[in-house]
C-alpha cells in the first residue's frame, strides 16, 4: 500500500499519487501559518511512527466511557467498512477519480496526508468529494455511504513535498444539506491518542485503504482492504539499512515481519490504527515508502500524536485531542 509518487509512471497513467518515492531534498525557510484553502476562495507518499521500547511510556489511563474507535498487497485482506468505519475515501473531479484515503476524527473533520494535494493552497476544493461508508470505489451503496463536499482544506504550514516532513492535512466536510457526518455502523470517528503518546516496537496495528495490490500495478484496488503491521523502533527505522536520516521525529515505520504486506500507491492519507484498552486509536497517517513490501523498506507514517495541538488549533477540536474524550457516543 505504499503510496509512492512515481512521477513518470503516474504521468503516463494519469494517476494521482498517494505514495511517493523518496527524493533528494534540501531545507528551505518555512512559514509559520497553516496553509488553508476554503471554498470560494489535488495527492503523494507513506509509514508510521516507531519508538524505542526503552522510552515506552504509554500511560493510557483514558476515560473509556464513549465508543468512538470501536468498530460495530499490499493490503491483502478484503475488509468490510464496518471494521474500518472511520476510513474516508477522497475523490477528485467531483467523485470521478479516487485520490487518497483519510480518517474521520470528528463529525466534521477528516485527517489525511498533505502530499495528497500537490497544488497546496491552489487546490480547487470544489472539485473534491469525500465519502464515508464506502467499501468499493467503483460502486455506490446508498444505504451505507455518505457523500460530502470539502468546505475547507488545511495543509500543515511546514509541509514540504521534498522530504514529506509534517505530512498531514485536515478537511472540513459538509453534505448537500450543510450537515456533517451522521454516526452509523459504517461511519464512525476514530479516537485520537493523547499528545506525544508512543507505543513500543513490535506493537501490532492495522492499515486499510484502496491502494494498489502490488507495486507498479496499473490500477487501484476496487475494494477496501486491510492488513496488520508491526511498529518498528525509531533506531531501526533511522538505520542505514532502512531509511537513515530521511526519517524525522514526525515519522515512524511499520511493516510485516516477513515483508509480505504493506501500504502502496493509493493508500496515502489512510489510517494506521492501534487497539489500546478496547479502543481503536489513530497513531499514523500513510505517508511514504520505497516501493511496496520491500525488505528493509517499511511503510513510513506521519506521527499523529505530534499534531494534537495543531489539530486542536486549526479545527477547534481541543476536546477530541486531549485524550480524555471520545466523540460520537
pLDDT attached to residue 323: 66
List 16, 161, 167, 290, catalytic entry:
167
Distance of CA 115 to the CA centre of its chain: 11
Distance of CA 324 to the CA centre of its chain: 22
All three cell numbers of 137, joined, read 470505489
- Strand segments, DSSP code E, in the chain are 35-38, 77-78, 87-92, 97-106, 109-112, 129-132, 146-155, 169-174, 204-209, 225-232, 251-255, 271-276, 279-288, 299-303
Based on the residue annotation, tell me whether 115 is a catalytic residue of this protein.
yes
Total number of residues shown for the chain: 329
Is the CA virtual torsion 277, 280, 285, 289 positive or negative?
positive
Domain positions in the chain are: 85-188+310-315, 203-305
How far apart, in whole angstroms, are the C-alpha atoms of residue 79 and residue 307? 28
Based on the residue annotation, tell me whether 221 is a catalytic residue of this protein.
no
How far apart, in whole angstroms, are the C-alpha atoms of residue 182 and residue 180? 7
How far apart, in whole angstroms, are the C-alpha atoms of residue 306 and residue 125? 26
pLDDT attached to residue 137: 83
85-188+310-315 fold: Thrombin, subunit H (2.40.10)
Strands 279-288 and 299-303: antiparallel
CATH code for residues 203-305 = 2.40.10.10
What are the residues whose beta carbons fall under 8 Å from the beta carbon of 20, sequence distance 6 or more? 3, 4, 5, 6, 44, 45, 46, 115, 161, 164, 288
pLDDT attached to residue 95: 79
List 115, 156, 166, 215, catalytic entry:
115
- Strand segments, DSSP code E, in 17-168 are 35-38, 77-78, 87-92, 97-106, 109-112, 129-132, 146-155
pLDDT attached to residue 17: 35
What are the residues whose beta carbons fall under 8 Å from the beta carbon of 236, sequence distance 6 or more? 50, 201, 242, 253
pLDDT attached to residue 326: 43
Based on the residue annotation, tell me whether 268 is a catalytic residue of this protein.
yes
Let me know if the fold of 85-188+310-315 is the same as that of 203-305: yes
List 79, 129, 221, 268, catalytic entry:
268
Per-residue pLDDT of the chain (329 residues; tens, 9 = 90+): 444 333 333 333 333 333 442 332 222 222 334 556 666 543 333 332 222 222 223 333 333 333 455 443 444 455 577 889 999 999 998 778 999 999 999 999 999 999 999 999 899 999 999 999 999 988 888 899 999 999 999 999 999 888 999 999 999 999 999 999 999 999 999 999 988 888 999 999 999 998 776 554 445 567 898 999 999 999 999 999 999 999 999 999 999 999 988 888 789 999 999 999 889 999 999 999 998 889 999 999 999 999 999 999 999 988 888 765 443 33
What are the residues whose beta carbons fall under 8 Å from the beta carbon of 41, sequence distance 6 or more? none
How far apart, in whole angstroms, are the C-alpha atoms of residue 114 and residue 132? 19
How far apart, in whole angstroms, are the C-alpha atoms of residue 266 and residue 209? 7
Amino acid at each position: 500500500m505504499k503510496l509512492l509518487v512515481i512521477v513518470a509512471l503516474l504521468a503516463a497513467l494519469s494517476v494521482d499519487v498517494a505514495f511517493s518515492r523518496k527524493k533528494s531534498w534540501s531545507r528551505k525557510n518555512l512559514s509559520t501559518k497553516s496553509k488553508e484553502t476554503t471554498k470560494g476562495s489535488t495527492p503523494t507518499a507513506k509509514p508510521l511512527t516507531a519508538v524505542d521500547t526503552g522510552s515506552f511510556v504509554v500511560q493510557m489511563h483514558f476515560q473509556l466511557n464513549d465508543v468512538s474507535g470501536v468498530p460495530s498487497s499490499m493490503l491483502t485482506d478484503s475488509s468490510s467498512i464496518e471494521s474500518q468505519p472511520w476510513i474516508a475515501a477522497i475523490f477528485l473531479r467531483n467523485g470521478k477519480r479516487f485520490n487518497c484515503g483519510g480518517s474521520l476524527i470528528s463529525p466534521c473533520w477528516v485527517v489525511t496526508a498533505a502530499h495528497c494535494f500537490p497544488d497546496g493552497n491552489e487546490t480547487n476544493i470544489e472539485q473534491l468529494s469525500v465519502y464515508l461508508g464506502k467499501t468499493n470505489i467503483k460502486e455506490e451503496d446508498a444505504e451505507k455511504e455518505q457523500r460530502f463536499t470539502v468546505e475547507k482544506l488545511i495543509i500543515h504550514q511546514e509541509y514540504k513535498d521534498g522530504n514529506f516532513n509534517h505530512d498531514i492535512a485536515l478537511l472540513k466536510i459538509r453534505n448537500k444539506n450543510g450537515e456533517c457526518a451522521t454516526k452509523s455502523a459504517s461511519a464512525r470517528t476514530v479516537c485520537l491518542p493523547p499528545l506525544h503518546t508512543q507505543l513500543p516496537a513490535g506493537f501490532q496495528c492495522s492499515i486499510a485503504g484502496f491502494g494498489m495490490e502490488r507495486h507498479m500495478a496499473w490500477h487501484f484496488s476496487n475494494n477496501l482492504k486491510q492488513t496488520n503491521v508491526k511498529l518498528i523502533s525509531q533506531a531501526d527505522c533511522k538505520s542505514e539499512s532502512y531509511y537513515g536520516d530521511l526519517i524525522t521525529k514526525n515519522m515512524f515505520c511499520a511493516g510485516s515481519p516477513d515483508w509480505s504486506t504493506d501500504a502502496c500507491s493509493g493508500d496515502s492519507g489512510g489510517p494506521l490504527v492501534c487497539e489500546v484498552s478496547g479502543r481503536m486509536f489513530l497513531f499514523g497517517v500513510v505517508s511514504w515508502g520505497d516501493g511496496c513490501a520491500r525488505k528493509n523498506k517499511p511503510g513510513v507514517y506521519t506521527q499523529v500524536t505530534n499534531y494534537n495541538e495543531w489539530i486542536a488549533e486549526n479545527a477547534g477540536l481541543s476536546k477530541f485531542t486531549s485524550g480524555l474524550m471520545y466523540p460520537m457516543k
